[in-house]
Protein backbone atom coordinates (compact mmCIF):
# COMPACT_ATOMS: atom_id res chain seq x y z
CA UNK A 1 0.00 0.00 0.00
CA UNK A 2 1.64 3.20 -1.20
CA UNK A 3 0.36 6.11 0.86
CA UNK A 4 1.24 8.64 -1.82
CA UNK A 5 -0.84 6.77 -4.41
CA UNK A 6 -3.80 6.50 -2.06
CA UNK A 7 -3.88 10.27 -1.58
CA UNK A 8 -3.08 10.82 -5.26
CA UNK A 9 -0.05 13.02 -4.64
CA UNK A 10 3.62 13.04 -5.61
CA UNK A 11 6.25 11.82 -3.18
CA UNK A 12 7.67 15.33 -2.89
CA UNK A 13 4.29 16.91 -2.01
CA UNK A 14 4.19 19.66 0.58
CA UNK A 15 2.23 19.38 3.82
CA UNK A 16 -0.35 21.75 2.35
CA UNK A 17 -0.84 19.50 -0.69
CA UNK A 18 -1.18 16.47 1.59
CA UNK A 19 -3.87 18.19 3.66
CA UNK A 20 -5.71 19.37 0.54
CA UNK A 21 -5.71 15.87 -0.98
CA UNK A 22 -6.84 14.34 2.33
CA UNK A 23 -9.76 16.74 2.71
CA UNK A 24 -10.86 16.22 -0.88
CA UNK A 25 -10.84 12.42 -0.55
CA UNK A 26 -12.38 12.50 2.93
CA UNK A 27 -15.36 14.42 1.55
CA UNK A 28 -15.64 12.03 -1.37
CA UNK A 29 -15.42 8.76 0.61
CA UNK A 30 -16.93 9.68 3.97
CA UNK A 31 -19.49 6.98 4.88
CA UNK A 32 -22.20 9.58 5.52
CA UNK A 33 -21.84 10.89 1.97
CA UNK A 34 -20.80 7.76 0.10
CA UNK A 35 -23.03 4.73 0.61
CA UNK A 36 -20.96 2.25 -1.40
CA UNK A 37 -19.68 -0.79 0.52
CA UNK A 38 -16.04 0.06 -0.13
CA UNK A 39 -16.30 3.60 1.26
CA UNK A 40 -15.42 2.48 4.80
CA UNK A 41 -12.35 0.61 3.62
CA UNK A 42 -11.24 3.50 1.45
CA UNK A 43 -11.78 5.98 4.29
CA UNK A 44 -9.63 3.81 6.56
CA UNK A 45 -6.84 3.80 3.97
CA UNK A 46 -7.12 7.56 3.48
CA UNK A 47 -6.94 8.21 7.24
CA UNK A 48 -3.96 5.89 7.65
CA UNK A 49 -2.11 7.50 4.76
CA UNK A 50 -2.81 10.99 6.05
CA UNK A 51 -1.70 10.14 9.59
CA UNK A 52 1.63 8.83 8.28
CA UNK A 53 2.31 11.54 5.70
CA UNK A 54 1.20 14.49 7.82
CA UNK A 55 3.60 13.67 10.67
CA UNK A 56 7.15 14.65 9.60
CA UNK A 57 8.82 11.89 11.64
CA UNK A 58 6.52 9.12 10.40
CA UNK A 59 6.84 10.42 6.85
CA UNK A 60 10.63 10.36 7.06
CA UNK A 61 10.57 6.76 8.32
CA UNK A 62 8.07 5.76 5.62
CA UNK A 63 10.15 7.36 2.87
CA UNK A 64 13.29 5.65 4.17
CA UNK A 65 11.63 2.22 4.21
CA UNK A 66 10.13 2.89 0.79
CA UNK A 67 13.53 3.80 -0.65
CA UNK A 68 15.12 0.76 0.96
CA UNK A 69 12.53 -1.49 -0.71
CA UNK A 70 13.15 0.13 -4.09
CA UNK A 71 16.89 -0.41 -3.66
CA UNK A 72 16.37 -4.08 -2.84
CA UNK A 73 14.25 -4.59 -5.96
CA UNK A 74 16.72 -2.75 -8.14
CA UNK A 75 19.53 -5.09 -7.05
CA UNK A 76 17.87 -7.95 -8.95
CA UNK A 77 18.98 -7.75 -12.55
CA UNK A 78 16.07 -8.64 -14.79
CA UNK A 79 18.41 -9.22 -17.72
CA UNK A 80 19.98 -12.12 -15.86
CA UNK A 81 18.27 -15.25 -17.21
CA UNK A 82 18.77 -17.40 -14.11
CA UNK A 83 15.59 -18.65 -12.51
CA UNK A 84 16.35 -18.53 -8.80
CA UNK A 85 13.35 -20.69 -7.95
CA UNK A 86 14.38 -23.56 -10.21
CA UNK A 87 17.97 -23.21 -9.06
CA UNK A 88 17.05 -23.65 -5.40
CA UNK A 89 14.63 -26.44 -6.23
CA UNK A 90 17.35 -28.33 -8.10
CA UNK A 91 19.51 -28.21 -5.00
CA UNK A 92 16.74 -29.70 -2.87
CA UNK A 93 15.98 -32.60 -5.16
CA UNK A 94 13.05 -33.52 -7.36
CA UNK A 95 10.89 -35.02 -4.64
CA UNK A 96 11.08 -31.97 -2.41
CA UNK A 97 10.53 -29.74 -5.44
CA UNK A 98 7.18 -31.29 -6.29
CA UNK A 99 5.99 -31.09 -2.68
CA UNK A 100 7.00 -27.44 -2.36
CA UNK A 101 5.22 -26.64 -5.62
CA UNK A 102 2.13 -28.38 -4.26
CA UNK A 103 2.31 -26.33 -1.06
CA UNK A 104 2.53 -23.14 -3.10
CA UNK A 105 -0.59 -24.08 -5.06
CA UNK A 106 -2.44 -24.79 -1.83
CA UNK A 107 -1.47 -21.35 -0.53
CA UNK A 108 -2.65 -19.66 -3.71
CA UNK A 109 -5.92 -21.59 -3.72
CA UNK A 110 -6.56 -20.60 -0.10
CA UNK A 111 -5.88 -16.96 -0.91
CA UNK A 112 -8.26 -17.10 -3.88
CA UNK A 113 -10.98 -18.77 -1.82
CA UNK A 114 -10.69 -16.24 1.00
CA UNK A 115 -10.82 -13.40 -1.50
CA UNK A 116 -13.91 -14.88 -3.14
CA UNK A 117 -15.55 -15.29 0.25
CA UNK A 118 -14.92 -11.62 1.02
CA UNK A 119 -16.29 -10.52 -2.36
CA UNK A 120 -19.40 -12.66 -1.96
CA UNK A 121 -20.06 -11.26 1.51
CA UNK A 122 -19.68 -7.71 0.21
CA UNK A 123 -22.09 -8.43 -2.65
CA UNK A 124 -24.62 -9.86 -0.19
CA UNK A 125 -24.36 -6.71 1.93
CA UNK A 126 -24.90 -4.57 -1.14
CA UNK A 127 -27.94 -6.57 -2.21
CA UNK A 128 -29.45 -6.32 1.27
CA UNK A 129 -29.01 -2.55 1.23
CA UNK A 130 -30.62 -2.24 -2.17
CA UNK A 131 -33.67 -4.40 -1.41
pLDDT of 22 strictly over 90 = yes
The CATH code of domain 1-76 reads 1.10.287.110
Strand, helix or coil for residue 129:
helix
Whether pTM > 0.85 for this model: the answer is no
Mean per-residue pLDDT over the chain, rounded: 78
Q: If we measure between CA atoms, which residue out of 81, 86, 16 comes closest to residue 53?
A: 16
What pLDDT does residue 93 have? 54
Q: How confident is the model over 104-118, as pLDDT tens digits?
A: 777 777 788 888 888
* Contacts of 22 by beta carbon, 8 Å cutoff, 6+ apart: 7, 46, 49, 50, 54
Q: Yes or no: say if 120 and 127 are a contact pair by the CB < 8 Å rule.
A: no
Interior/surface letters 69-101, b for 16+ CB within 10 angstroms, e for the rest = eeeeeeeeeeeeeeeeeeeebeeeeeeebeeee
Percent of the chain residues past pLDDT 70, beyond the cut: 73
What pLDDT does residue 111 have? 81
Domain ranges of the chain: 1-76, 83-131
User: Given pLDDT bands bounded at 50, 70 and 90, which one contains residue 94?
Assistant: low
Amino acid sequence: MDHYEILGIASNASSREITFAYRKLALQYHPDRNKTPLANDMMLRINTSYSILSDPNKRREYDASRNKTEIQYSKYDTKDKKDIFNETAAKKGKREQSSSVGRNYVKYVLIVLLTLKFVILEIRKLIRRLF
